[in-house]
Structure 1
Amino acid sequence: MTEAGFSVTVPATTANLGPGFDHLGLALSLTMTIEVTTAPKWEVKYKDKEYAEIPTDETNLIIQTIKKVVAMYEQVVAPQKLVVSSDIPLGKGLGSSATAIAAGIEIAGELANLQLSSQDKLRIGSELEGHADNITAALLGGLTVSYFTEDEMEVLTFPAPPIGVVILVPPVALKTEASRGLLPEQLAHKEAIKGSAAGSVMTAAIAQADWVTAGRMMERDVFHEPYRKVGFPNFDDIRLACHEIGAYGMTISGAGPSLFIAVPPDTEKQVAASLNQLFPHYQAIALQPAETGAVITK
């Protein structure tokens, strides 16, 4: 077992990008950093007031992840104190749970000297998270495209795309569980074909750095947007405003509760300011894609 005394940094993420439902993820320029030191008992300390309601004992998601991962390899690790600094808004559709799981996997691997490969981490994280989009981007950085089933997993990575990002947070959050409950059990074959085509063209456009086309296809989702948009006041008005401002496209960030807006590089602050004025009941956050995924520093 490796002696403790290290830190791990993990980026925020957004997922889906519209029709890339449950398989596209993008790392963003917000981070969570966790300092790890040996302690008499397991403990988590959050430096940010926003996280005050998160459990700090062994029910904490990071600790639970560490224990699950080391147990998979029939290992046991000594208790640790985890001091967490984060600028990732909690429960705002920026992959905070995936960030915690990715951190837990990295910490477990370091403490128990598990020598986990990237594929090992991706599989474990996707199984714990239940889908692959946020967790792959959190672990690898950049843009990830994943195929994940019980028996198979394939992940392709792209560098962080040359765009700016605005996240628009609504006044009332819709919890992920409730958002998932809005989705239909079945989708007509004809509709699924449309969604698949939109996702394929969008991904190909991203690979070619054609964000005009990617942004247009981002708004052709049939898998979840039609059912979840009801949770966003002024959804159609915001989309129209984004077009007028010059954004590439707007869609729902993950399962919500935020909106993801792709904009030309170096315009994200200007777009965020404009949207703040037009829709003051929302909070606009200007970001960039992040190249780097989870990193351990000793």
Structure 2
Amino acid sequence: MNTISGGMFTVKVPASSANLGPGFDSIGLAVNLYLSVEAELHSHWDIIPLSEELKRFPRGSEHFIAQIAIRTAKLYGREMPPCRLAVESDIPLARGLGSSAAAIIAGIELASHFCGLQLSRQEKLEIAAGVEGHPDNVGASIYGGLVVGSQLESGIDLTPVHSVEMDLVAVIPEDELLTESSREVLPERIAFSQAVEASAVANQLLAALFTGNWRVAGKMMASDRFHQPYRRRLIPWWDEVEQLALESGAFGTALSGAGPSLLCLAEPGNGKKLAQSLESSLSAMKIVQLEIERSGSYTSIIHQDNKKSPI
């Protein structure tokens, strides 16, 4: 069955790494791993996983992407028509690289298209952040680049920055770590003096990244007061990998989102050497040299002859 536009509707959403250390629930960075969805109207919800990791999820309307699409349509008083989806992803699940945020955005894009909502980026951000509870991952995946977001009672504001140039290397372990488990170790409150320090560290990190002061940026990434001191106990190999990365040319390391992956940052041109060094020393982990993804999520209509999926 054809889509309402006469072709195959496609969504491509980049992965993201949140926080960069002290920018807790505010700073996000889009990276070049992707969730891709090809969709067409169908008599019922039918999700076809094209990646091995995705085969664990429901194949019908209970699928997370379908649920987000249905929920988004209801927000605007519409009924989301059932679709057949072919879903492919190279974003590792439950590793702190924004796999859930990418799925949320994919669902919102489906509702926007098939219900004729024509949502703006800001509207997509507000819906996605409402589901996630914070704008960092979803904002980076929607807008691309580095983003700084805030989610207050007065609304959600986000500033995308595309001028930062740095190399990225992710250290991805085999073990998963669910965001819920990683948040359980965080305190409900911190002292005012600690909050002042934590805010200053986050501010200084941004200033250092924007001006290319890599030494200070690395220092601030290691000086987080909001979440990393509490989450470190969940990842026994963190200290060892962090030290190895710094000795191999990284100017800083941070837990990627809620973890357990670590994101290592290097000056432009040093990423390949850093990745090679880490790969030779960490055979039990996946080392991925990444790039900043600057375009954000996008959609298109493709001709049936050009589709990749079996639908």
1:242 aligns with 2:226: no
The 3 A distance-change label for structure 1 pair 17 and 145 is same
Which residue of the other structure, out of 182, 187, 191, is the alignment partner of 1:179? 182
Match of residue 281 from structure 2:
278
Q: Using the alignment, how far apart are the partners of 2:179 and 2:25 within structure 1? A: 13
Match of residue 308 from structure 2:
none
Unaligned runs of 5+ in 2: 302-311
Counting aligned pairs with the same residue, the percent is: 37
1:37 aligns with 2:10: no
Alpha-carbon contact 1:160-1:290 (below 8 Å) kept: no
Alpha-carbon contact 1:18-1:251 (below 8 Å) kept: yes
1:297 aligns with 2:280: no
Q: Using the alignment, how far apart are the partners of 1:133 and 1:293 within structure 2? A: 13
Which residue of the other structure, out of 90, 112, 128, is the alignment partner of 2:131? 128
Match of residue 142 from structure 1:
145
Match of residue 154 from structure 1:
157
The 3 A distance-change label for structure 1 pair 211 and 161 is same
Which residue of the other structure, out of 156, 169, 174, is the alignment partner of 2:172? 169
Let me know the Cα RMSD of the aligned residues. 1.6
- Scaled by the length of structure 1, the TM-score of the pair is 0.95
By how many angstroms is 1:195 displaced? 0.9
Q: Secondary structure at the match of 1:205?
A: helix
Match of residue 195 from structure 2:
192
Moved over 4 A (4+): none
By how many angstroms is 1:107 displaced? 1.4
Unaligned runs of 5+ in 1: none
By how many angstroms is 1:170 displaced? 2.7
Q: Using the alignment, how far apart are the partners of 1:69 and 1:234 within structure 2? A: 40
1:83 aligns with 2:99: no
Match of residue 73 from structure 1:
76
Aligned residue identity for 2:59? T
Alpha-carbon contact 2:14-2:102 (below 8 Å) kept: yes
Which residue of the other structure, out of 36, 41, 48, is the alignment partner of 2:51? 48
Match of residue 12 from structure 1:
15
Aligned residue identity for 1:55? P
Alpha-carbon contact 1:106-1:294 (below 8 Å) kept: no
By how many angstroms is 1:267 displaced? 3.0
Aligned residue identity for 2:100? S
Q: Using the alignment, how far apart are the partners of 1:229 and 1:170 within structure 2? A: 15
